[in-house]
Amino acid sequence: MRLQTRMRLIRLAVIAIAAPLLTLPESGKASEQVPAKQIFGGIELPSRAAPAPYGFYSKGCISGAVALPTDGPTWQAMRLSRNRRWGHPLMISLLEQLAHDAPKVGWPGLLVGDVSQPRGGPMMNGHASHQIGLDADIWLTPMPDRRLSAQEREDLPFTSMLRKDKFLTVDSRLWTPSHARLVMLAASYPQVERVFVNPAIKKKLCDTWTGDRSLLGKVRPIYGHDAHFHVRIKCPVGASGCKSQAAPPPGDGCDKSLAWWFTPEPWAKPKTDPKKPAPKPREIGISDLPKSCVAVLKAPSVPSEGEVTYSGGATPVAAYASAPVANTPAAMVAGDPADIVPAEVPIPLPRPLGQ
């Protein structure tokens, strides 16, 4: 049985389990019997509503999500069986813009990973964030010069940019200037708040980037993210239900906060009492999410994916986007390095819990 068929059967089973819960009043406690990730992970289509993110990137949901087309002139969506091509129109528009601009900086096209589920929310696996349609993953593998089959998009392995024989070191045989230009291009858009990368990739950029170094402050080190980078955009203007994240600290981030990642502290195992069993992690329930997420779950679905996919005849998602950026990608990558002295920023707490 192919992976796509298995995933669809799993979603149908989850829908059968979760369907009775969606008829409960907002105060109903029976929904806590099923983790929120199972309910959100079993829904195949977004709500028929205006686009609106609710909550925070790692605890929320989205109404009125739209889908990134599986293929574009300079992008291909990956892992289609996951059904995670959904996002706020501003996020989808940004992905299309990044894909359009990528060849200008020497990158042939994007392989797009997870964005969000049809109604956002917690996922069965893979992410703590990506819950409100404002996060997206871009592979650090360039798009091939042919269209991948659906099965190839499931099977193509990730390629880590790190050396296997040396701790937190970028593999110079794999990492190229085009990789650096693509990451920094993503950081150049004003609606982008953060670009998450592996600490080794951040250090490589700090050591080698000769363009506008003020953009380096948006590029944040985090666990993993050695085979892809993660783009996060700001809460849309007027989205009162969206909880913003604090702006990145001032400076380029090539300072003590980055050096911390190269110490033993962030990689040490949490201290535990051997006499006490480790507590079982508590699953996020519906009541842990914003109250609006109950309404998002109960809302009727759109008739079909095609109705809310740009290539399927919906209103072009670019219509939701902000005005074009004045600074062109070419200008961004060709600029002289700015003479910026990194500001002192607090060293982050050990073992950050989320993205």
Cβ neighbors of 69 (< 8 A, separation 6 or more) are 77, 309, 310, 311, 312
Confirm whether 346 is domain-assigned.
Answer: no
Residue 347 is assigned to a structural domain of this protein:
no
Sign of CA dihedral 332, 85, 227, 59: positive
Number of domains in the chain: 1
**Residue 275, in any domain of the structure:** no
Q: Does residue 267 form part of some domain?
A: no
Treating both helix axes as pointing N-terminal to C-terminal, what angle do 177-188 and 89-101 enclose, rounded to 10 degrees? 140
Containing structural domain, residue 212: 3-260+285-320
Are the CB atoms for 173 and 219 separated by under 8 Å?
Answer: no
pTM for this entry? 0.81
77 belongs to a structural domain: yes
Q: What is the pLDDT along the chain (355 residues), one digit of tens a residue?
A: 555 555 555 454 444 445 545 544 444 454 457 899 999 999 999 999 999 999 999 999 999 999 999 999 999 999 999 999 999 999 999 999 999 999 999 999 999 999 999 999 999 987 899 999 999 999 999 999 999 999 999 999 999 999 999 999 999 999 999 999 999 999 999 999 999 999 999 999 999 999 889 999 999 999 999 999 999 999 999 999 999 999 999 999 999 999 999 999 999 988 887 888 877 888 899 999 999 999 999 999 999 999 999 653 333 433 333 333 333 333 444 332 222 222 222 333 333 333 3
Is residue 178 within 8 A of residue 107, CB to CB? The reply is: yes
* CATH value at residue 229: 3.30.1380.10
In a domain, 14, yes or no: yes
Q: Is residue 338 part of a domain?
A: no
